Amino acid sequence: MGILMEMKNNFAHVLPILIAGVVAVAIVAERLRALFWVYPLQGKDKFFERIRELVMSDRLPEAVALCDLYPSKPMSRVTKEGLIRAHQPEEMVGDGLQLAVSEASQKISKRTQFLATIANVATLLGLFGTIAGLIQSFEAVGSADAQQKSAILAAGISTAMNATMLGLGVAIPCMVAFSFLMNRSNRLTVELDQAAIRTLDLLRQRHYGTDQNNNSKRTA
């Protein structure tokens, strides 16, 4: 109850920290949903095996249609970007894949960086509340009776320390969530790079197989 009373009595100092905490919770909830449910492609090995079958049998429209079944999956969109460039030179295919990976990586990591900023801001707001509380307590002590000075000073210091504690109470979970979400984002980004490499390799195999078939027909 003590901390609640302190928050009520010093609501002007506490409100910015609480707002930062609410924003952080919203970001964490949205990013957890995106990084663990929306973006990952379940059964990606089976997906690429099916893409391989379609590409090697020269059924590219069907392969693109398969990618369209997963519009919210960055890996599927990267693969599709390579497939729709299958008839272009290899350099253009590679450039398209790099652009697709870059755009998808930005989408994967968006808003996560805000958590580190919120952690720093919450810490600074806590320190600001501490300094403001100390200033108020010393001003009150200066005009108080000798018998009341110790009680007023103790109450002011308690208020100041509570502001620091509240700021750290928001900052520490933010930094933990930031590290956790960045690790997940980096893992998904690596999977995107692998998807681009696999797509480019499939198109090379297809091109090589087509050339081999044409050479065989000419020889026959």
Pick from 12-16, 30-34, 52-56, 72-76: least confident:
12-16
What is each CA distance from 151 to 143, 147, 156, 161, in whole angstroms?
Answer: 13, 8, 9, 15
pLDDT in tens, 125-135: 988 888 877 88
Residue 197 half-sphere exposure toward CB, CA atoms < 13 A: 6
The pTM of this model reads 0.81
Tell me: pLDDT of 45 over 60: yes
pLDDT of residue 147: 64
Q: For residue 43, what are its two tokens?
A: 């059964």
How far CA 28 is from CA of 20, 118, 166, 171, 202, in Å, comes to 12, 12, 19, 13, 37
> Running DSSP on this structure, what letter comes out for residue 43?
T
Comparing 20 with 129, the larger pLDDT belongs to: 20
- pLDDT score for 175: 96
**Quick one: which of 179, 202, 158 has its CA closest to 9?**
158
pLDDT at 82 over 80: yes
In this prediction, residues 146-157 reach a mean pLDDT of: 71
